[in-house]
Chain A
Amino acid sequence: MATLRVNPTRMELTRIKRRLVTAKRGHKLLKDKRDALVRRFIALVRENAALRRRVEESLPQALRRFALASAVMEGTALEGALLYPARKAEVFIGTKNILSVRVPTVSLNEEGLGDTVRPYGYAETSVELDEAISTMADLLPDLLKLAEVEKSCNLLADEIEKTRRRVNALEYVMIPQFEETIRVISMKLDENERSSVVRLMKVKEMISQEAEQ
């Protein structure tokens, strides 16, 4: 492991020791964050998969029913019947904070919902169309929930990846580098100290020899 390029002085040593402590604390915190994120993510993604399965099963059915209904009706009559929708599907988009990841929340604006989902009278339209439209309307809450959960999963997955990279960088690069640098500096300092002790001993010896002569 490459060491940092610093002067082997006592000042650098204390500085790097302090950085090592910070890095270790940051590493622990990020690791905790990662674990918590993964736990939340797994719960969320399970919900996501279940919702998706449900929507993928029922939505094509509803759409197919709608296609059938439009096939039995005359084109212009259908157009006329559906020209102006009876409901306004509007949503409130808020944000929620999951471990400092901002995720959207989607809730249906109930005000826009009329009493009926059908924008027409019963006279000129087929039963199939009525049914198709009401199944579509039943699906709406699921669709919104799916959107919210899937987007959250997406954002969480990004954040988890980022956090994991940071954790790994600290664990396998920064911290070993600091430790190695500390080792090298303290070895150098020790060596200097030993050599000065030896020098002193030598000098003392020389002085005492001179005194004897």
Chain B
Amino acid sequence: MSKKSSKIGVIGSSDAVLAFRTLGMVVRPVRSPQQAMLAVHRLVQEGVPLIFVTEDIAKDLSETFAQYASDPTVTLIPLPGVHGSDGLGMQRVRKNVEKAVGADILFNDTED
């Protein structure tokens, strides 16, 4: 196999991340945004290109997200945690649409 296979990282509160460990992902339970930030940087340094972050943690990590936003080799994705989604993920999608098209055209016509 010529392509290198790489691991998937998950960062979040400990009750949420345990489930991801059963899938064989690299799991970093964190308690504070600082810890999460460090965990993200460390995982990136270890060469983990795909990192999921639970939304409760991700909402305080907007700087870190922005830092890796334009890097095509590192993908940070917020995921809903145990308590369901607080809309952060959808908000990101919506922001993309607004940035690209100038207006929120997508959600107006699908949700009405």
Contact = CB atoms under 8 A, between A and B. Distances in A.
Interface stretch (A83-91, A191-199, A201-209): A83-91
Contacts of A64: 82
Nearest to B72: A102
A48 B93 CA distance: 7
Contact of A153 (B7, B8, B93): B93
B5 A85 contact: no
Interface residues of B, number: 46
A94 B19 contact: no
A66 B18 contact: yes
A104 B49 contact: yes
A93 B50 contact: yes
Contacts of B1: 111
Interface stretch (A7-15, A21-29, A54-62, A175-183): A54-62
Given A67-B15, A150-B93, A93 B21 contact: no
Contact of B83 (A38, A55, A60): A60
Interface string B32-69: 00000000000000000110100000000000000001
Given A91-B6, A136-B19, A67 B100 contact: no
A93 B22 contact: no
B22 A92 contact: no
A38 B90 contact: no
A117 interface: yes
Contacts of A158: 69-70, 99
A70 interface: yes
Interface in A39-80: 41-42, 45-46, 48-49, 52-53, 55-56, 59-60, 62-64, 66-67, 70
